[in-house]
Chain A
């Protein structure tokens, strides 16, 4: 009989800002990037980065759940061949992936329709969420004195 090695796949869910650090740890352990996949579930993107160990056949999956408008950094500086997967998810699902080394700008598969895998109305929702996020960012960046005077007024009324 051949020796059967079949460990259970490991899945870890991480936050977006920890992505580069976790990918760096996988590179340090000598794993090979197997694939990058994206799904559109419940109006959010679920990214799955899969890493494979060719000695022990252990399969590890990093899961990142992001909002539609969030920007994802490219991991091509760590794994150079990730550019294909990232161009594909940027073209088929319109994920905002930044800083890809060889960026085809939506011409990887040369499909006429924009983001063909997304259901109807998803692109408009994404534009809407992006506009709302921008407004929230601008409101948060407003100078502090206005907030202080509001508080004094409230204290005075009480």
Chain B
């Protein structure tokens, strides 16, 4: 049974600097594996809508015809399920949380326009050549 057993810790804490960081004056430091927000490499996206169908909170919306990908960062729960399900692996988690704001906003990404496919006659010629080869 002791009296004032906390005195050594208390006195040493009096002379140490505080353990809290002066956020937001000093920037927050997140370790490398931190799940902060979802990042998309829009060039690789094929609008398969698998990420939108599997999102537990429904934060992702994909429009196949218009070739867009939208995410409501305020609804996202940072679970990382979309990054596991994407067949082209174009979704990643990056550190850094969504900063607060006065209203919810949606981030919008457009896929680059389709390139012209190579002309059809070249493909037909290749097929007939292959047929003759047999």
Classify A-B as touching or not with yes or no (CB < 8 A).
no
